[in-house]
A and B are shown apart, each in its own frame.
Chain A
Amino acid sequence: MSLAKITQIKALALAVPGDDIDTDRIIPARFLRCVTFDGLGDHAFRDERTGPDGKDRPHPMNTPQAKRAGILVVGFNFGCGSSREHAPQSLWRFGFKALVGGSFAEIFFGNSTALGVPCLTLSKDHLAELSALVQQKPELEVTVDVQNLKVSAGDKVWPASIPASARDGLVNGKWDPIADLLDGAAAVEQTASKLAYVVGK
């Protein structure tokens, strides 16, 4: 299986500020009533964007730059709560190819990486700078450099972090682990044979 090498994403960015944004807010549970991920992009942040009266609320996702943005700038503990992969799927299908934040909930991070969507973290101060800049200058191109662990916009460059295993997977085009996992079949059987509860005892 050959996958794209995800080394660098250059795109316009959109800031959705706030900490502890959970996956129910990213994609409400009623949109999980499905057997495929098709169409989820239309519903990213649905209840944040649309009021109970069905009208648009003031929300970054309702601005003209949302549709053109490829990078989502978020706060801390983004993607907490439910393990639903529907959350990163909806963001990816909406058009976000990379996320930059203060921290990410672990399951969300893993789900995003497995989709080939890098989630990089910046320090609190740097994130505030990036978020403010993106909100002031929506036409500014932002670069998420996974290879060199940097995020840059205009003349600003900030050091960024991502766990080494995720970085290696992304830049080497091996972010979907299935091929490696299948390669280990013989070793898997050996491990299984040593586990009493697996062999039926």
Chain B
Amino acid sequence: MAKTLFQKVWEAHTVRQLPNGQTQLFIGTHLIHEVTSPQAFGMLRDLGLKVKYPQRTFATVDHIVPTNELKEPYSDPIAQEMIEALRKNTKDFGIRFFDTNTGNQGIVHMVGPEQGITQPGTTIACGDSHTATHGAFGAIAFGIGTTQVRDVLATQTLALSPLKVRRIEVNGVLAPGVYAKDVILHIIRKLGVNGGIGYAYEYAGTTFENFSLEERMTVCNMSIEGGARCGYVNPDQKTFDYIKGKPYAPKAADWDAAVARWKSFASDAGCQYDDVVKFNAADIRPTVTWGITPGQAVFIDEKMPDLNTLNAADRQTAEDAYKHMKLAPGSAIKGTKVDVAFLGSCTNGRISDLREVAKYLRGRKVSSSVKAIVVPGSQLTAIQAVHEGLDKVFIEAGFEWRGAGCSMCLAMNPDKLVGDQLCASSSNRNFKGRQGSQTGRTVLMSPLMVAAAAITGQVTDAREVFKV
């Protein structure tokens, strides 16, 4: 019988059926960080349990790391306490830790792929909702809570129920200046922030086939913003080429067998999906959010919705959003004043994002009214960017060049909005208060749109600013 990748991976990792009807699912790869793991280690100690497969858990530190302070002890004692707790926990339990002094530290969803830990046909869990990022490699990867982090540490398994699979097909070529970020924002806008509840999203079609792995990661990353706990792209030659030679990739003697195995996990032709949705790449334009959920988005040259055009439930959320964002219903978002520009995060903090922006940034200057920061998602990305001279391009243009971390995506570190500042952000969430100030405002967009906002001091169309 023809099967989806989701079904095949699920079956390969099914340990048994639990008394309550759920599946005990083997989690082949477990990623941890400093925020959602300390309580799990505490529970483990309270129960007197060990880590079942310490070699299958990998740790790094990302959320609380200050990106403008590279030496310890950090001026924030709580950040120092959290990083030290992770050092102790990984040492006590024999877990590999990509610490700040390794040159391999970074946002957990960047470290996995960079190290070759993220592989097709595997199950990956992490106490972080953006774990869906790893689905770009054809893995079934999802976020979990802290009690579940304990479950994986203690048993390498989780109690779960299978998801339905929705195939989201996008076909065709994106117009210049339209990026993977616009594709996923468009999908979420159309299917809703809760449209994916109960589903895994399979991203398919020629647009995704033509995407690089980094672009696929941007899309899979934001599956959770559409309510889907995981999203994936079927593995192909690009996937295998990306993994080859990475530190944890299968070695030469095992390589061919690994590729054959990975290929076998791809969804079969003719398999049954629970739902299929199709989009045309040509219909997608640069997209920005105007509200407080990632689904509240418009094309840059569109007007924000009039409240009368919305149904009762959407209208209530929209009213709340307009009030928080201090924007007027029915008006254009283009021209809205920007105070901060943030380029980074597990959505768009990769080398290809930095390269694309740098390509257009030479000779341009950040507006004097804008604070602009660029935060490579990982140390390896930062090293590569410096090697290519990209840091100089950003600094010359007036961006602050920072160390690796989550930074202003969620402001658990010193990078925060102040008051009602409006941030043009390449991150993934525009929730109220998300960027560290309860009255702060976030407009999500692609990295090049962030650069355009930084230069003009306004939410604007990067295609016009950069003559794309």
Contact = CB atoms under 8 A, between A and B. Distances in A.
A178 B419 contact: no
Residue among A115, A180, A181 facing the most chain B CB atoms (10 A cut-off): A181
A33 interface: yes
Contacts of A47: 432-433, 438
Interface in A64-105: 76-77, 80-86, 88, 103, 105
Nearest to B195: A77
B82 A178 contact: no
Contacts of A81: 129, 224-225, 429, 431
A85 B155 contact: no
A178 B47 contact: yes
Contacts of A198: 26, 28, 53, 56
Contacts of A177: 18, 22, 151, 158-159
B270 interface: no
Interface in B51-78: 52-53, 56, 63-64, 78
A83 B129 contact: yes
B144 interface: yes
Contacts of B78: 33-34
Contacts of B38: 35-36
Contact of B194 (A20, A28, A181, A191): A20
Contact of A188 (B156, B229, B433): B156
A33 B77 CA distance: 10
Contacts of B439: 52
Contacts of A174: 19-20
Contacts of A138: none
A77 B317 CA distance: 12
Contacts of A107: 129, 143-145, 224, 229
B20 A188 contact: no
A169 interface: yes
A168 to B, nearest CB: 4
Contacts of B177: none
Contacts of B193: 20, 77, 80
Given A184-B155, A191-B14, A165 B21 contact: yes
Contacts of B56: 198
A140 interface: no
Interface string A147-189: 0000000000000000111101100101011101110110110
B247 interface: no
Interface string A26-67: 001110111111000000000100001000000000000000
A114 B148 contact: yes
A103 B12 CA distance: 31
B151 to A, nearest CB: 6
Interface string A96-137: 000000010111001100110000000000000000000000
B395 interface: no
B124 to A, nearest CB: 11
Contacts of B32: none
A33 B24 contact: no
Contacts of B90: none
Interface in B163-208: 193-194, 197-198
A197 B28 CA distance: 8
B336 interface: no
Interface in B136-160: 143-148, 150-151, 154-159
Interface of B: 12-16, 18-22, 24, 26, 28-29, 35-36, 38-39, 42, 47, 49, 52-53, 56, 63-64, 78-79, 81-82, 85, 119, 121-122, 127-129, 143-148, 150-151, 154-159, 161, 193-194, 197-198, 224-225, 227, 229, 250, 254, 257-258, 261, 293, 313, 316-317, 320, 410-412, 419, 429, 431-434, 436-439
For the complex of A and B, the 5 pairs showing the least CB-CB separation, nearest first, are A111-B145, A85-B145, A83-B143, A177-B159, A77-B194
24 contacts: A20-B194, A28-B433, A29-B436, A30-B412, A33-B64, A33-B412, A35-B38, A35-B42, A52-B419, A81-B224, A81-B225, A82-B128, A85-B127, A106-B229, A107-B129, A107-B224, A114-B148, A169-B20, A180-B20, A184-B15, A187-B16, A194-B12, A197-B29, A201-B258
